[in-house]
């Protein structure tokens, strides 16, 4: 379990995170959403121990990430948005670097590369950005870590590859693993991320499961305007509206509409989902 308590971080005088508190449970695939500059990447690097908090603390199964203990490092993987095009064949890279993760599975790496239709015998410095990204995603999942942190993993992927990514994540992530995926491409991931975390500048606006969201908010796709709508948007198929759920029926959550609703009504949403 990941526990974040009163976390603070700044770059000089620029405060990025302040008094961030939340808990991430095992066996979930969290979607981390937020506008540019709110600290999503910073939070991921703090969780994997690449940065030290300025205030508060992070504990992951009793470990303090910044101490970088080998037993902790071997059970977590951070996939940056920036990937290196090194002069090695993908299969050679996997064999060499997989040794740093106790549970790395070369067979799984090759299987996921096949799902992505990616050639493991190709040199990584000759791959396109999308091919390179898929190689690192394959490696990350093959490490079989308890905690996997991914920063914008679908950036650079074409439409078929995004579907392949969803298939790989759902098929090759163990039931007790925790994934935290930072993304702006919510439509790429809306069928696999649950719960949803929405980060604001120095605040957590939402940390709730899809079921909790559907219990408290209604997502209406009719053309009839609801006077209680917190947010509405015209779409090619009609209108999507979001308003408080006053009944017992649950609707399909639209994550983009949810994100916009939260940012229009920050304090209201925080109050609705306060635990």
Q: How far apart are CA 213 and CA 261, in angstroms?
A: 12
Give this prediction's pTM: 0.92
Question: Residues 214, 250: contact at Cβ < 8 Å?
Answer: yes
- The arrangement of secondary structure in 2-206, i.e. its CATH architecture, is 3-Layer(aba) Sandwich (3.40)
Q: For residue range 133-148, list pLDDT tens digits in order.
A: 999 999 999 999 999 9
Task: Tell me what pLDDT residue 204 has.
Answer: 93
Q: How far apart are CA 113 and CA 118, in angstroms?
A: 5
Q: What b/e sequence results for 21-49 when a residue is b if at least 16 CB atoms lie within 10 Å of its CB, and e otherwise?
A: ebebeeeebbbbbbeeebbbbbbbbbbbb
Report the alpha-carbon angle 79-160-167, nearest 5. Answer: 60
Question: Residues 32, 42: contact at Cβ < 8 Å?
Answer: no
Task: Tell me what pLDDT residue 69 has.
Answer: 92
Question: Residues 23, 2: contact at Cβ < 8 Å?
Answer: yes
Task: Tell me what pLDDT residue 116 has.
Answer: 96
Q: How far apart are CA 157 and CA 128, in angstroms?
A: 10
Q: How far apart are CA 134 and CA 164, in angstroms?
A: 10
Eight-class DSSP state of 51:
S
Q: How large is the average pLDDT for residues 60-85?
A: 93
Q: For residue range 175-213, list pLDDT tens digits in order.
A: 889 999 999 888 889 889 999 999 998 889 999 999 999
Task: Tell me what pLDDT residue 257 has.
Answer: 94
Q: How far apart are CA 236 and CA 196, in angstroms?
A: 26
What is the rounded (10 degree) CA torsion for 181, 175, 99, 69? 70
Per domain, the residue ranges of the chain are 2-206, 210-272
Q: How far apart are CA 260 and CA 262, in angstroms?
A: 5
Q: Measured on CA atoms in the order 257, 218, 189, 27, is the torsion positive or negative?
A: positive
Which band of pLDDT confidence, cut at 50, 70 and 90, is reported for residue 22? very high
The two tokens of residue 255 are 């994550």
Closest CA to 28 of 214, 180, 212: 180
Eight-class DSSP state of 194:
B
């Amino acid at each position: 379990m990941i526990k974040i308590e009163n976390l603070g971080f700044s770059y000089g005088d620029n405060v990025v995170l302040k008094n961030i508190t939340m808990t991430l449970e095992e066996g979930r695939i969290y979607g981390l959403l937020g506008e540019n500059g709110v600290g999503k990447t910073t939070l991921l690097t703090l969780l994997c121990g690449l940065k030290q908090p300025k205030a508060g603390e992070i504990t992951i199964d009793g470990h303090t990430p910044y101490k970088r203990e080998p037993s902790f490092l071997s059970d977590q993987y951070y996939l940056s948005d920036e990937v290196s095009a090194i002069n090695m064949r993908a299969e050679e890279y996997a064999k060499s670097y997989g040794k740093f993760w106790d549970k790395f599975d070369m067979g799984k790496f090759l299987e996921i590369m096949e799902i992505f239709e990616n050639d493991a015998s190709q040199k990584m410095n000759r791959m396109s950005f999308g091919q390179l990204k898929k190689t690192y995603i394959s490696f990350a999942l093959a490490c079989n870590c308890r905690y996997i942190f991914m920063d914008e993993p679908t950036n650079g992927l074409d439409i078929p590859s995004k579907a392949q990514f969803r298939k790989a994540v759902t098929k090759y992530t163990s039931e007790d693993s925790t994934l935290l995926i930072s993304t702006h491409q919510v439509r790429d991931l809306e069928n696999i991320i649950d719960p949803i975390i929405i980060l604001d500048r120095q605040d957590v606006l939402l940390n709730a499961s899809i079921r909790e969201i559907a219990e408290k908010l209604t997502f209406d796709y009719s053309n009839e305007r609801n006077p209680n709508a917190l947010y509405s948007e015209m779409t090619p198929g009609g209108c999507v509206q979001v308003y408080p759920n006053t009944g017992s029926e649950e609707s399909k959550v639209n994550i983009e509409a949810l994100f916009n609703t939260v940012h229009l009504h920050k304090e209201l949403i925080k109050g609705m989902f306060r635990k």
